[in-house]
Structure 1
Amino acid sequence: MTLNTHLHITAWGLAFILFAISVVLHKQGNAKASKIVQMILRLDYLLILYSGGDLIANYFSDSPKLGEAIVKGLAGIWVIAAMEMTLAKLKKGKPTKSGWIQLVIALLITLILGFGRLPGGLM
């Protein structure tokens, strides 16, 4: 695995930790701390987008799995959108079930393609 792959996986791991902390803080009634953690999470999204874009760019050089890499990239963006949607609905007091469902589906697609099908993953 390349350094960029490590950066991408680490950034995603950090994103899920920050997402969980933000959800827990909000449910505990600490909205200000939750907002601060969410802002840090949004900075982490920049690392994810940069490293993910670089990984997809590597597939443009005559790779037979370019289509899968593009779908994985779109699913990764969907994960970020689902995380943001879930946090936004949580803060507004609206039901978050649809956000959680989308997050799980997008995450499964991303993990299966990233670690199971595309080169550079763990498999």
Structure 2
Amino acid sequence: MFETTHLHITTWVLGLVLFFVAYSLHKKGNEKASKISHMILRVFYILIIITGAALFFIHSSIDAALYGVKFILGILVIGFMEMVLVRSKKGKSVQVMWILLIIALLATLYLGFRLPVGFNFLA
């Protein structure tokens, strides 16, 4: 089941879609739908962490340092996604969180596609 990255990629792609749905619903003022999609997104956070941890423990012997860095960056991406949603609901500034989210997401994607397990788009 975890010999490939298909399940993990599916969970984080769906997580990103849900994140943008929740954010756009909040910006449009639809608080009930935003809250529901945010709760579903939190379930996907758990699924992303579980599938990522499974891949980490199975494949970290290939390059433990880089897989560890990617694992930490993935957790940071989830944290920044949550901070963008929560801070925007509280009416606080989210510019810094957006910048950190984009930087962490790009770094995580780069490492994820660069590491030996999975798709090799950056060869």
Report if TM-score (shorter chain) is over 0.5. Answer: yes
Q: Percent identity?
A: 49
Q: Map 1:30-109 onto structure 2 (within 5 A).
A: 30-60=30-60, 62-63=61-62, 65-109=63-107
Q: Which amino acid aligns with 1:107?
A: L
Which residue number corresponds to residue 25 of structure 1? 25
- Is the Cα–Cα contact under 8 Å of residues 4 and 51 in structure 1 kept in the other structure? no
Counterpart residue type for residue 39 of structure 1: M
Q: Which runs of 5+ in 1 are unaligned?
A: none
The 3 A distance-change label for structure 1 pair 31 and 3 is farther
Which residue in the other structure is 2:110 paired with? 112
Give the partner amino acid of 2:24.
V
Write the letter of the residue equivalent to 1:121: G
Displaced runs of 4+ in structure 1, greater than 2 A?
Answer: 1-4
Taking structure 2 as the reference length, what is the TM-score of the superposition?
A: 0.92
Structure 2, unaligned runs of 5 or more: none
- For 1:8, the aligned partner's letter is H
Q: How many residues align?
A: 120
Q: Which amino acid aligns with 1:41?
A: L
Matched residue, 1:122: 119
Contact 2:7 2:51 in 1 (8 A): yes
Question: How big is the shift at 1:122?
Answer: 1.3
Q: Which amino acid aligns with 2:66?
A: E
* TM-score of the aligned structures, taking structure 1 as reference length: 0.92
Q: Which residue of 2 aligns with 1:13?
A: 13
- Aligned to 2:53, the other structure's residue is in SS state helix
Cα offset, 1:121, TM superposition: 2.4
